[in-house]
Chains A and B, each alone.
Chain A
Amino acid sequence: MTRREFMDELGSLLDELPDKERLDILADYTEHFLMGVKEGKSEHEIAEALGSPKALARELLAGYRIHEAESNASVGNMTRAIIATVSLGFFNLVFVLGPFMALIGVLIACFGVAVALLLAPVGMYAQYGFSAVSQERLLLLFGSMASIGLGGMMAVGLVGLTRWLYRLFLRYLQFNVQMIRGK
């Protein structure tokens, strides 16, 4: 593979990156080629030692996506980061997607409980509220307050927990990208 071929392939594989990022990456490899040639190596040798542009592009894309999700937290960015990491290989499909699904499942269940606690008083009042005798009314009142309080605290806690898990999961993605490929 000549320098031209290598750079063209890498460039087209990094098509989805913003221009600035892509050009910066390509400049690094161009510099590498020029230095190698200056040291008397052939373009083929250099390209060979660099590794396949496909593997490099996947790694660079995953790195970029993870960084994006880190500096700009959103469901979309996290999804893109996960997809990019999963595309690195079958290993990551199992070890990234699996834990992620489990985590999301648990979080959704917890949010469900919080919402149920917040909404429970509505049901209680709908069923007994306004016909109840005075003692039961008091019980209903305290019961509702407890339920709302608990649900509220849980919701606040869960929002914090979600943020923390978001960052933690990105670390985990990063960790999964980091396998040295030899030859």
Chain B
Amino acid sequence: MNVQFKKGVLELCVLVLTAGRDRYGYELVASISEKFHIAEGSVYPLLRRLTQEGFFTTYLMESQEGPPRKYYHLTEQGRQYMNDLVLEWRIFNRGVNQIIGEGLGYDKA
């Protein structure tokens, strides 16, 4: 798949993935690239930016095996921002689906 769209989508995915529990970078990259192909490295600049903007706090935690992991915790401000993005996405998604449906005549079937 040729992915060339706005990172807003990636941002949304990262925020939503951390909504339930704190996650570390590799985990986030893995869950996203399982669904669509991205240049995996660019998740990290995104995480840095979201942290700088106060949407995440980070902490290091030792793991039994492997290196210590940097965990990302969604802040209250981040949660608010995520909710806004999810709402925007839903509206956008519904609009596009309607247009596709009308254009391809699914709704007449």
Chain A residues proximal to chain B, CB less than 8 Å:
25, 27-32, 34-36, 38, 49-53, 55-56, 59-60, 63, 67, 174, 178-183
Q: What residues of B have a CB within 8 angstroms of the CB of A52 in the complex?
A: 39
- A49, B48: Cβ atoms closer than 8 Å: no
**What are the residues of chain B within 8 A of A36 when measuring CB–CB?**
26
Evaluate contact between A182 and B37: CB separation under 8 angstroms. Answer: yes
Which residues of B in the span 86-109 have a Cβ within 8 Å of any Cβ on A?
none
A-B contact pairs, 6 of them (CB 8 A): A31-B24, A49-B40, A51-B42, A178-B6, A181-B39, A182-B2
Nearest Cβ in chain A — how far from B43, in angstroms?
Answer: 9
Binds A, one of B15-23, B66-74, B75-83: B66-74
Q: Which of A50, A53, A180 contacts B5 (CB 8 A)?
A: A180
B42 touches A30 (CB 8 A): no
Q: Does A35 lie within 8 Å of B3, measured CB to CB?
A: no
Binding site for A on B (CB under 8 A): 1-11, 24-26, 29, 33, 36-42, 44-45, 47-49, 52, 65-70
- 16 additional A-B residue pairs with CB within 8 Å, beyond A52-B39, A180-B10: A31-B26, A31-B69, A35-B66, A35-B67, A50-B41, A55-B41, A60-B44, A63-B49, A178-B6, A180-B5, A180-B9, A181-B38, A181-B42, A182-B2, A183-B3, A183-B39
Contacts of B48 in A (CB 8 A): 25, 60, 63
Is A182 within 8 A of B1, CB to CB?
Answer: yes
B3 pairs with A67, CB closer than 8 A: no
Question: What's the Cα separation between A11 and B12 when bound, in Å?
Answer: 29
Q: Taking CB as reference atom, which chain A residue is nearest B69?
A: A31
Which residues of A have CB within 8 Å of B5? 179-180
Q: Are B41 and A51 in contact, CB atoms less than 8 angstroms apart?
A: yes
> What residues of chain A lie closer than 8 Å to B42, measured between beta carbons?
51, 55-56, 59, 180-181
Interface contact B2-A67, CB-CB below 8 Å: no
Task: Report how far A29 CA is from B67 CA in the complex, Å.
Answer: 12
Q: Which 10 A-B pairs have the closest CB atoms?
A: A182-B3, A51-B39, A50-B41, A178-B7, A35-B26, A181-B39, A51-B41, A34-B67, A56-B41, A49-B40
